Amino acid sequence: MQYSNLAMRMFCSTYGRRCLSATNRHRLRFSESVSPTYRFLRAHGKPQISGQYLAGFKSSRVKAMAGADEDLLTTLKARGLFDNCTDESGLRDALQLPIKIYCGFDPTADSLHLGNLLGIIILSWFQRAGHQPVILVGGATGSVGDPSGRSQERPLLDEKTLSANVSAICDSIESILKRNGGHGDTTVLNNYDWFKDISLLGFLRDTGKFARLGTMLSKDSVRKRLESEDGLSFTEFTYQLLQGYDFHKLNIDYNCILQMGGSDQWGNIICGIDLSRRLAGKELYGLTTPLLTTSSGQKMGKTEDGAIWLNFISDKDNYSTHPRDFWNYWRDKTENNDVGKFLKLFTDMPLNEIDEIEKLENEDIEKGKELLATKITELVHGKDSDWKSKKTIILKKEDFENGYGLLSLLSNDDLGLAKSNSEARRFIQSKAVKLNGELIDDEKYTLTLGSFKKSKEIEISLGKKKKIIIGID
């Protein structure tokens, strides 16, 4: 199929009735002034999209999972996934044909964290609408470090660590896309593949001359670090130029025209659009997602123990979060007013069903939290993950030979139930503590080896939410 014919077909279906007179319907005149498809083709040339995408593409329209047929950007806005766009009108025109959209992920660890999940969710919405996602892993930029949202410089990683991180991250992203209804091709690239062959002098001569220092210095991420006590290294300062070149490279070699990222990436995205305009005269687009926060203004994705990670490798891995702990995080940390908000962001549940959940109160809203936790955990870890399993803590047998006081047990750091004996005492006095389902209201209660006679394990619960299995070795 010729793309001119495709454009004609799309024009006919979308605008034909408006443009044809009643007596002259057989003579169709393709009007540049009317057709966004024509303007897009003229600006960007023939799209380099695989045939399967063209064959199954239905303009840029997707069902908004709310019973209405809406365009993609409207759907993203309705679900709270849309923060800002460099040229919304131009992007809407471009989306009349299948496009390639990319999102970058720096392999600073062997797992992405919760803050990266919105970006993957956006990619899945575009993929389901017939567009092709491009996952760009920053094997090169990851070795430099993005100063955005950072008060201090990131530690530099060696090539072996970066390579292992790249592999783990790619596997995770592709799995999440598939579980979220993704279909068709997903292009996975590593920017180290092109930066490794570029000399410093060549990059400065061919690319650096088109970057404007004033523009780079005006970025919030750069300005804040320059004003900080630690300042900003030249290595970090070059990050936005490297990311900007990525966008230009992806456009030239892969016909990618849209970059998306979190709201903290706005400056880097603008840098890429400006650079590509200067280097090649191309008009590219940027789209950002909002910062993931609670209704009380707290940033999501952090606990006292650190970040919430999307991968689970082992309990000993610093960048792992067990599916069970991931599920518990959403159930325990989600505020009542945020249940509906997060269901819109992280699931494709119909909006009318989410509206009903938002009306729930008291104990009923807890069921909404469990639904949210289940859906997000199944998205990230799969339905077959052991997130339903209870947390098991193994303690030494000798700890119980002379008796283990309940107060000390509750405040044990490994259990994480109470921060101190005083807090543990309050839990007991409020009748919130149970052992094997039996209420314990005696703060002097002591566990011994005899407590494990019937079973080698004891279930200790704190309220309705926290349950831990204690074993002895």
pLDDT digits (tens, 9 = 90+) for 143-161: 775 555 444 445 566 778 8
> Are 323 and 356 in the same domain?
yes
Please give the torsion angle defined by the CA atoms of residues 313, 317, 318 and 324, in that order, rounded to the nearest 10 degrees.
Answer: 50
Query: With 60 as the cut, is the pLDDT of residue 54 above it?
Result: no
How far apart (Å, rounded) are the C-alpha atoms in residues 351 and 90?
27
CATH number of the domain to which 411 belongs: 3.10.290.10
Residue predicted with more confidence, 386 or 423? 423
> Are 61 and 152 in the same domain?
yes
pLDDT confidence tier of residue 19, bands split at 50, 70 and 90: very low
List beta partners, residue 354.
none
Q: Which amino acid is at 378?
A: E
Q: Quick one: which of 19, 113, 461, 175 has its CA closest to 318?
A: 113
| The predicted structure's pLDDT at residue 62 | 47
Query: With 80 as the cut, is the pLDDT of residue 244 above it?
Result: yes
Residue predicted with more confidence, 464 or 191? 191
Least confident of 208-222, 276-290, 364-378: 208-222
| The predicted structure's pLDDT at residue 64 | 38
How is residue 398 annotated by DSSP?
G
- The verdict on residue 296 lying in a domain is no
How far apart (Å, rounded) are the C-alpha atoms in residues 458 and 471?
7
List beta partners, residue 62.
70
> Are 251 and 336 in the same domain?
no
Q: Quick one: which of 187, 188, 148, 142 has its CA closest to 161?
A: 142
**Strand 306-307 to strand 256-262: parallel, antiparallel, or no bridges (unpaired)?**
unpaired
- The verdict on residue 377 lying in a domain is yes
Could you give the maximum distance between any two Cα atoms of the chain, in Å? 99
Q: Quick one: which of 220, 226, 235 has its CA closest to 140?
A: 235
The range of the structural domain enclosing residue 362 comes to 302-381
pTM beyond 0.75:
no
> Are 214 and 330 in the same domain?
no
> Are 410 and 261 in the same domain?
no
- The verdict on residue 318 lying in a domain is yes
How far apart (Å, rounded) are the C-alpha atoms in residues 252 and 197?
17
Q: Is 393 exposed, middle or buried (0-12, 13-18, 19+ CB in 10 A)?
A: middle
> Are 151 and 107 in the same domain?
yes
> Are 241 and 256 in the same domain?
yes
Residue predicted with more confidence, 66 or 247? 247
- How many separate domains does the chain show? 4
Using only C-alpha atoms, what is the Rg of the chain?
Answer: 27
Residue 371 backbone class (left: φ over 0; alpha: ψ -120 to 50; beta: rest): alpha
> Are 313 and 352 in the same domain?
yes
pLDDT digits (tens, 9 = 90+) for 394-443: 888 888 888 889 888 888 887 778 888 888 899 999 888 988 778 988 88
To which residue do tokens 């959940």 refer?
357
> Are 377 and 441 in the same domain?
no
Compute CA distances 15 → 30, 35, 462, whole Å: 10, 8, 62
Query: With 80 as the cut, is the pLDDT of residue 457 above it?
Result: no
- Structure-block tokens of residue 136: 């760009």
How is residue 32 annotated by DSSP?
T
> Are 76 and 218 in the same domain?
yes
Query: With 80 as the cut, is the pLDDT of residue 317 above it?
Result: no
| The predicted structure's pLDDT at residue 68 | 39
To which residue do tokens 């045939």 refer?
51
